[in-house]
A and B are shown apart, each in its own frame.
Chain A
Amino acid sequence: MNHFFKLLNFEINRFIKIYASLLAIVIIIQTIGVAVVSNSFVNRANEMMMENRWTQEEFIKSNGKMSFSEFMNSFWFAGPIAIAATALIFYIFLIWYREWYGKNTFIYRLLMLPASRYSIYFAKALAIFLMVLGLVGVQILVLPLENELFKVIVPNALREVLAVKDLIYTNAITMVLIPSTFTQFLLHYSAGLMAVFTLFTAILMERSYRFKGIIFGVLYCAAVLALFSAPLFIAAMLDMGNMLYPMEFLMVEIVLGFIASVCSILIGHQLLTKKVSV
């Protein structure tokens, strides 16, 4: 356990500079975005009121009030999240490959450690997972602050007041990242963790069998995907779309996801102990 925690700490520290920059990008671009989107709305409102000699009420009647979700639907909000998400997905690969392609082949030292190979594997998985959650945490933290900034810029009469929760419920990105119920949160992120394990196994296959391993890896990913979507396909093929009740369907998916994850972990561990070549 101690080994595992040290390794986890080590993995986090190795990426912390880039990770901190990602968080900074999210916070800075989004804050600028709120200011830009809100200001342009206020300016447009002022211009239109000047040109048409409208009162505020007349402007609202023809243009509507501004809502914070206008910012949330803009590139200013989605862009930095996409950048951070892409970087973390990329790091799923890099977290393994940097051991081989660093200044010195670090994998030597890593495999020489007295720690269980499971520790190495889970330290990397949990590092990625923790960084994803940290990103989500930062988003949860800054969203109300951004909402406050929006309130400062757009005058009361021109804006629509919505609670943070209501904003999150109407946006496609936040509905996935921070779903409205905790159950859903657990489901989304367990599925994410399963995907990380699957990719790890594919990467270790490549590391073990090199070129042939790429084929194995791709096939393995396809197999997991097929397993996970089997209930849908089987139902469609046998023409019995609604034969499973939603809860049963969910249970089947959870069991399949669990099986896939355990397989990935066991294969990954096996490769890491027996097959991986330095």
Chain B
Amino acid sequence: MIDSVTDDRVAASLVSGWGRASPSAARVVTVRSRRHLEELVVGAGRSATPVLARGLGRSYGDAAQCAGGMVLDCTPLGAIAIEDLDEGIVRVEGGVSLDALLREVVPRGWFVPVTPGTAHVTVGGAIAADVHGKNHHRDGAFGSYVQRIELVTPSGGVEVAPASDPELFWATLGGMGLTGAIAEADVRLHRIETSRMLVDTVRARDLDECMEKLSDSDASYRYSVAWVDCAARGSRLGRSVLSLGDHAALSDLPAADRAKALDYRPSGGIGVPFAPPVNLVQPMAIAAANELWYRKARLHRAGELQSLASFFYPLDAVRDWNRLYGPRGFTQYQFVVPFGAEETVRTVIELLQAARLTPSLAVLKRFGKADPGPMSFPSAGWTLALDIALSARDVAPVLDRLDDVVADAQGRVYLAKDGRLRPELLREMYPRLEEWLAVRARVDPTGVFVSDQWRRVGASER
């Protein structure tokens, strides 16, 4: 939700996150070029105007808002340079969406190294949140594939690479846009022979079986994820459908399809034209949909060919699906707890069930080794992501309780999804916060780059 205008001296307009829950007004300035971006950021620094770069607004909470300040709409920064594609390197501007990038590189035999559950994020956003995908257990997060960033700080543009300035580089990966605006990046891609996925679908009766099967699949599958039916209780708690896959080789395709092996057809046919006056994602509908989804999946289905879009981006098929949650919006609660804290995952589901809060979507997966980034979310362990409508009663205290349970287990919540974490828990969940603050103080000493999220959860604690 964003109303943007092209003039630099624009009136304020409302900006909100994907969850549509706590909009704030800012001057939204459309960035015309990288030079323009630098002018805007340096100008903001001189006039002490709070500023924040924004991409496609897929962070769920208030991470891409800057109330009373200037929000830089970076989506026009869309240049994609493929000169070095033979070596698997692509040079992209910060506003390039993964969708645009895939349209360019998939037909040439390349895929993004890491992708979240939507292609409608920008490369700048992917870096700022250090996004992860279904392959984190073996390939790590997005940051592992970024070789160079052109960052725009209040003192101007600066080239950052892991070797030249590791502190700033890794503070930017997961830094939620607070170390500067990402103008350009070099990203290392993944070679593919086809645009199809070879997918095994496996059902699990309960949480134990789900975790066991996910663990067993670590070595044998590049991508793995489980959709958990959070409406199922008792002995069926945690019953789930696992989706395990890898890119199909040319030889996996029927002979007739091999000529068009690298065709890429993004999803996104239908849309939700407006937000209904009430939340349509209600518990009974959720339970029914989960039941159907679980039953539809056969006990075991092996070697199915799926398109990239249907494997990675099933929700992209419905544009603006976030509007279905009505005027009050929704949040996603995503956390990670270390291996060994499996019971915490169960406790979280049980606490939500006890409070009669049925997540409309629940996704469980395994993270591998963490990136070096002090604020990067993924770290070795289990991550569960839960979509929760905010219209339900007493959501807030229950989520506060979940924070305590997660923090007790040495876990953390994902800032790209957060809109409500208690400030005092930030340091506990991100113990390297001080390290990151020191880097931020070096590149942006007066704190020109600021988000509503940072004001709420970071700045208020100091």
Real binding pair? no
Q: Report A's interface with B, CB cutoff 8 A.
A: none
Q: Report B's interface with A, CB cutoff 8 A.
A: none
